[in-house]
Amino acid sequence: MKFVKKIKPFHVDARGEMSHLLDNISNITSVLYITCKKGAIRANHYHKKDTHHSYMVNGSMEYTYKELKIQNSKLKTIIVRVGEIVETPPMIMHAMRFLEDSSFIVLTTESRDQKKYEKDTVRVKLI
């Protein structure tokens, strides 16, 4: 899956660092900050339209996914660590298991209004 990338600073000086999380994506409609306890499971769903980008602020997660657009796609798991961002396009079943107390920022292309969110979300059991 080419949806995960390590975020590296584009500018570093005595004051600190600056990094682009996303470039040239103008359709972000919502930004969330989520905290998770070690062992917590989130997601276990897919979205019909929404793409979201999850940036690990601290901690780490086991990200399990399956691509629905690819026939006979296999379940895959990767580890997402601090400073990495994972893109989840539509029609990707995904689940997150947190390996330690963690927090991450989610940027979405569809509204997180609960009614709209639920209409776009299909619940599944991956993990």
Give phi and psi for 114, each to the nearest 5. -55, -40
Number of Cβ within a 10 Å radius of residue 57? 13
Q: What is the pLDDT of residues 79-118, one digit of tens each?
A: 999 999 999 999 999 999 999 999 999 999 998 888 999 9
Architecture of domain 4-11+27-123 in this structure: Sandwich (2.60)
pLDDT given for residue 40 in this prediction: 98
pLDDT given for residue 1 in this prediction: 54
Sheet holding 76-81, edge to edge: 76-81, 60-67, 92-98, 41-47, 121-123
Give phi and psi for 113, each to the nearest 5. -55, 130
Which range (18-22, 67-71, 74-78, 121-125) has the least confidence?
18-22
